[in-house]
Structures are given as C-alpha cells and as structure tokens.
C-alpha cells in the first residue's frame, strides 16, 4: 500500500485553491508541495498543518491505495 494525495488535490479544487495558495497559507516549502505531487511521504507535522489550514480531516488530504493490480475478494 502507499499514500495518495488525490483527496487533497480534490479538496483544493472544491475550494478554488491552487497548490501555491495552500503552500503560503500553511507555511509549507516548495519542496513539500513538490514531494506530494510526486507521491512521496511527508511528515505528520506537515499533514497536521494542512488539515489545520484547510479546517478538514485527514481523509480529505490522504488515502491509502493498493500497490499493483491484485484484487482480493472478501468472504471467498
């Protein structure tokens, strides 16, 4: 599994914000925004800043995605 920032990008679109707007409002560096754009990990402190800035929960910022294409059936 890996972390996806898709919910964050959707949240920004819904709020008519750009990544640059978030960067300035949350006091993030350009490297932090770039790392999220590349799907790289960021610190919990940074995630907290984003949630506080957007006044939202963590699930509006990140989600877990399965690696690969393996599908598992529940109750086989």
User: In this structure, is residue 72 part of a structural domain?
Assistant: no
CATH of the domain at 38: 1.10.260.40
- 68 pLDDT band (50/70/90 cuts)? confident
- 1 pLDDT band (50/70/90 cuts)? confident
User: In this structure, is residue 76 part of a structural domain?
Assistant: no
- Helix or strand or coil: residue 48? helix
- Helix or strand or coil: residue 17? coil
| Overall domain count for the chain | 1
Does 71 have pLDDT greater than 70?
A: no
Print the domain residue range for 28: 2-65
**What phi and psi values does residue 16 have, to the nearest 5 degrees?**
55, 45
Return the closest-CA partner of residue 7 out of 42, 59, 47. 59
Does 76 have pLDDT greater than 60?
A: no
pLDDT at 69: 56
What number is the average pLDDT over the span 35-45?
A: 94
């Amino acid at each position: 599994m890996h972390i996806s920032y898709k919910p964050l990008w959707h949240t920004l679109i819904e709020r008519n914000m750009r990544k640059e707007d978030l960067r300035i409002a949350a006091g993030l560096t350009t490297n932090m925004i770039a790392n999220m754009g590349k799907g790289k990990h960021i610190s919990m402190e940074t995630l907290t800043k984003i949630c506080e800035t957007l006044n939202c929960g963590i699930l509006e910022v990140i989600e877990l995605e399965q690696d690969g294409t393996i599908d598992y059936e529940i109750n086989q």
